[in-house]
Chain A
Amino acid sequence: KAGVTQTPRYLIKTRGQQVTLSCSPISGHRSVSWYQQTPGQGLQFLFEYFSETQRNKGNFPGRFSGRQFSNSRSEMNVSTLELGDSALYLCASSLGLAGVNYEQYFGPGTRLTVT
């Protein structure tokens, strides 16, 4: 079974631009969560989607948005990029929303550099 895939793996953007990152969950998984990882803040939860609906959102500005498609694939978008948005963006998929009993499978991440 293929794991979680994220595209692109590396990205360089300029301040003020926008970016879209893609995540394909494991086949059959309906839940997708996004995390941002930086050296200073560590791993922080961005948002999660289940059945095309956003179920939970972390404490990030409105420039960060996401969506999920009917095939469970998900995209996240960051508009008006800032230098501080440089980070590793991780996507995780899970079978369902049973919370404590559903382990999450993480992708390799997209490394975004904003110059």
Chain B
Amino acid sequence: DAKTTQPNSMESNEEEPVHLPCNHSTISGTDYIHWYRQLPSQGPEYVIHGLTSNVNNRMASLAIAEDRKSSTLILHRATLRDAAVYYCILRANYGGATNKLIFGTGTLLAVQP
């Protein structure tokens, strides 16, 4: 499975946009990019995923580089509730063989009021 690299920690101010980077230089053509986050004392929760095109949902946006070797999770207006560890995960398209997620160390996002 291809690996991802994320900064250990980032800080943001409340109501400002946050750009969380992820490098995945060994990504294969069929790997999807998934983001999960883990709030304090909770299990991880799904945020967003994409393959090649940029994606938007109610929680965030995912910007994927043209060569797919990196991506950025964008929180448009950070709130205190967004303070969490954010995980960037590559999921190979095994045609439905597994739901296994390989978590890295993630980025700890601190949001200041």
Contacts and interface: CB of A to CB of B under 8 A. Distances in A.
Nearest to A106: B43
Contacts of B106: 42
Contacts, number: 76
Nearest to B31: A100
B100 interface: yes
Interface string B75-105: 0000000000001000111111111111111
Q: How large is the interface on B (under 10, 10 to 19, 20 to 34, 35 or more residues)?
A: 20 to 34
- Most chain A CB within 10 A, of B44, B46, B100, B103, is at B100
A99 B43 contact: no
Q: How large is the interface on A (under 10, 10 to 19, 20 to 34, 35 or more residues)?
A: 20 to 34
A102 B91 CA distance: 11
Contacts of B44: 43, 90, 92, 104, 106
A107 B46 contact: no
Contact of A56 (B41, B96, B100): B100
B49 interface: yes
Interface string B19-42: 000000000000010101000011
24 contacts: A42-B106, A43-B87, A43-B103, A45-B102, A55-B97, A55-B98, A56-B97, A92-B44, A92-B101, A94-B99, A97-B96, A97-B97, A98-B96, A99-B91, A99-B92, A99-B93, A99-B95, A99-B98, A100-B91, A100-B93, A104-B36, A105-B46, A106-B43, A107-B43
Interface of B: 32, 34, 36, 41-46, 49, 87, 91-106
Given A4-B43, A48-B99, A56-B97, 5 more contacts: A35-B103, A42-B106, A48-B100, A104-B44, A108-B41
